[in-house]
Amino acid sequence: MIFAPSDIGQALANLRAQKTRTLLTALGIVFGVGSVIGMLAIGAGAREESLRFIEQLGVRNVLVESRSAASQEEFQQRRRSSPGLSERDVRILSANIEALETLFRPPYPPPRLRPPQPSRDIPEMYGVRPAYAIIHSLHLAEGAFFDDADDAASSKVCVLARAPKINLLGYGAARGKFVKVNDVWLEVVGVLTEQLMAGAQNTGGAMQDLNNIVYIPLNTFQYRFWDQSEDMKDDLDGIDLRLRPMPTALKSPKW
């Protein structure tokens, strides 16, 4: 379609004559296009967060959690049928299931980290194997996760999640600094990036903040922080397994 110069001039004249209508029409177009772009951006952001959440949970992970008894009678009744979760279960799983990574963590006592601001939530403490970081897709913003050598030597090291790092050491670099747990000084070897809150773990009806945890080697926990007063818990708090990917031939059978 070809427009004559007179038609263009007449159109501009009409727009100038109807300034309010022209302005409202232009705003409608702007807001309409902006709404479409905003919805597409929200959808893309939700998709990205869902993918991060799935990656954090792990589609090949199997998590076995123990539950502590509420009373001595309940504990004795459970023990009649089961000895509870222990390292024996880890050995059985390792011997009978191929292609898996194992992690087990014992019950942990309430840590006393003495944050500078008492109003802040006190972090929880996990004694874990180094494979925990792989199974749960933990990413580090600083330093590195402790390794098998640290675990075997019961080294006094720790990895901080985001909240305890800020509450205990501030916003500066944390690697190489020390935090005090009970009467033990632990060297910070790594700091985690912020974890998705949608992945908070639910144990015993209470949600655990994944960004408010201090991780230490399992052997360090057993030798220095084991809670002997707790007699109604299993030896292990949980066993986490990651299975190898299924071979392609098994995924797509030939008919």
Q: What does the domain layout of the chain look like in residue ranges?
A: 5-53, 61-248
Question: Which pLDDT belongs to residue 243?
Answer: 77
CB 216 within 8 A of CB 158: yes
Gap between the Cα atoms of 184 and 214, Å rounded: 14
Q: Look up the pTM and report it.
A: 0.61
* Per-residue model confidence (pLDDT) at position 204: 46
Under 8 Å between Cβ of 195 and 53: no
H or E, element range at 51: helix 19-57
How many of the other CB atoms lie within 10 Å of CB of 180? Answer: 12
State residue 60's pLDDT score: 74
Q: Are 68 and 232 in contact (CB under 8 A)?
A: yes
Distance between CA atoms of 161 and 209, rounded to whole angstroms? 10
- CA–CA–CA angle 82, 84, 86 (5° rounding): 135
H or E segment at 102?
A: strand 100-105
> Which residue matches tokens 């990651």?
242
Query: Strands 213-217 and 238-243, how do they pair?
Result: unpaired
Residue type, 115: P
pLDDT at position 97:
77
Helix (H, G, I), strand (E, B) or coil at 12: helix
Inter-residue contact 107 to 227 (CB < 8 Å): yes
pLDDT on residue 48 = 75
Tens digits of pLDDT across the chain (255 residues): 555 667 777 777 877 788 888 888 888 888 888 888 988 888 888 777 776 666 666 667 777 777 777 777 877 777 777 777 777 887 887 788 776 766 655 544 444 444 444 445 778 888 888 888 888 888 899 999 999 999 999 999 999 998 899 988 888 899 999 998 878 899 999 999 987 654 455 444 445 678 888 999 988 888 887 765 556 666 777 777 777 776 654 555 554
